[in-house]
């Protein structure tokens, strides 16, 4: 009996534009264990949100498979059984745009209950109050509107809405990036507490590696539609292998000399990030990599295992 809740194999999502084909996700493979948090990290345009939206069914995959609790959900969203839609939820990056400003908090929280016909021992109003209580907001917030509360409180309401269907898997799409630093810690602590209380599994998407140290059990790094490296969080920060990963970690700001000692040696990338419609052949990072070899411009490396649970896609470790 596997403990995997999500298993993605060779997932591809291509978009066709007037300028050419964008391979937003190009052969992405990873899995997530039940009650685990996997951090999916990458710069803007790396394809991490595309992977999430394809899992959710907002996009249909071009190729590859998505297994949720052992069942294939790679088909278009309209063909998925309703219980899948109930069991997989998302918290979007910007609560200002993800919450309907014309609906009260009560209406926002009751809508998923109506859509999924969730009938409890109490009425929907009481269920909405309980949802607010779960996330630490007072009951009288039901009568407020999103524009009347702060950004952090709006995101807390969005989290409460995601919990309304009693999901087991939640996609967190940069849930703190639109918030003040003073509010971010509160949101992270709330998410971690809810995970423990309700046995939730998270796919945490971010471009902020600092968040991953305490939030995620494992970290996956994306660059131009491909996974570069996957590792347990402790191992990831202790022993980053891919030059791109080392570059990201070396650029994290620190406040003490002791913290600086733990960072990889500063790596300065060469050139600019290639256009997503003109990705270079071979390893897609080779045009910026200071450690590139001749083979890197010709052959796309395979993902190889270096240590248990630590995988990297780089010719430095393939024996090429």
The answer to whether residue 258 scores a pLDDT higher than 70 is no
Which of 238, 264, 234 is closest to 251 using CA atoms? 264
Q: How far is CA 220 from the centre of its chain?
A: 9
Q: What's the number of CA atoms in the CB half-sphere (13 Å) around residue 100?
A: 11
Residue 79 has pLDDT above 80, yes or no: no
Instruction: Give the integer Cα–Cα distance in Å for 114 and 306.
Output: 49
- Taking the CA atoms of 83, 8, 176 and 309 in sequence, report the sign of the dihedral they define: positive
How high is the pLDDT of residue 1?
40
| Phi, psi dihedral angles at 108 (to 5 degrees) | -65, -40
Contacts of 20 by beta carbon, 8 Å cutoff, 6+ apart: 277, 278
- Does the pLDDT of residue 81 top 80, yes or no? no
Taking Cα atoms as reference points, which of 282, 263, 286 lies closest to residue 273? Answer: 286
pLDDT value at residue 256? 56
Residues near 264 by beta carbon (within 8 Å), at least 6 away in sequence: 240, 246, 249, 250
Determine which of 5-14, 86-95, 247-256, 308-317 has the lowest per-residue pLDDT on average. 247-256
The domain limits of the chain are 4-317
pTM greater than 0.85 (yes/no): yes
Average pLDDT over residues 52-67: 94
Share of the chain above pLDDT 90, in %: 70
pLDDT on residue 232? 97
Q: Per-residue pLDDT tens for 148-182?
A: 999 999 999 999 999 999 999 999 999 998 788 88
234's CB contacts (< 8 A; 6+ apart) are none
The CATH architecture one would assign to domain 4-317 is: 3-Layer(aba) Sandwich (3.40)
Q: Give the model confidence (pLDDT) of 189-211 as tens digits.
A: 999 999 999 999 999 999 888 88
């Amino acid at each position: 009996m596997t403990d995997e809740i999500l298993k993605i194999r060779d997932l591809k999502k291509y978009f066709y534009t007037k300028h050419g084909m964008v391979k937003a996700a190009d052969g992405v493979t990873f899995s997530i264990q039940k009650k685990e948090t996997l951090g999916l990290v990458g710069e803007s345009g790396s394809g991490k949100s595309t992977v999430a939206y394809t899992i959710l069914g907002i996009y249909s995959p071009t190729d590859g498979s998505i297994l949720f609790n052992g069942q294939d959900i790679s088909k278009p969203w309209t063909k998925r059984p309703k219980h899948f839609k109930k069991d997989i939820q998302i918290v979007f990056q910007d609560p200002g745009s993800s919450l309907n400003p014309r609906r009260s908090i009560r209406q926002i929280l009751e809508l998923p209950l109506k859509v999924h016909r969730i009938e409890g021992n109490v009425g929907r109003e009481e269920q909405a109050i309980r949802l607010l209580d779960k996330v630490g907001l007072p009951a009288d917030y039901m009568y407020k509107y999103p524009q009347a509360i702060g950004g952090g409180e709006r995101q807390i309401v969005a989290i409460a809405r995601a919990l309304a269907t009693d999901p087991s898997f939640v996609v967190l799409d940069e849930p703190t990036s639109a918030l003040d630093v003073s509010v971010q810690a509160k949101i992270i602590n709330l998410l971690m507490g809810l995970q423990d209380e309700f046995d939730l599994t998270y796919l945490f998407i971010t471009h902020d590696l600092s968040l991953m140290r305490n939030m995620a059990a494992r970290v996956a790094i994306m660059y131009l539609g491909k996974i570069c490296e996957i590792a347990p969080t402790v191992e990831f920060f202790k022993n980053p292998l891919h030059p791109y990963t080392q570059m990201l970690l070396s650029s994290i700001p620190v406040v003490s000399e002791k913290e600086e000692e733990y960072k990889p040696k500063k790596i300065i990338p060469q050139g600019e990030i290639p256009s997503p419609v003109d990705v270079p052949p071979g390893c897609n990072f080779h045009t910026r990599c200071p450690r590139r070899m001749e083979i890197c411009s010709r052959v796309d490396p395979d993902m190889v295992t270096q240590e248990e649970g630590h995988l990297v896609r780089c010719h430095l470790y393939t024996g090429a």
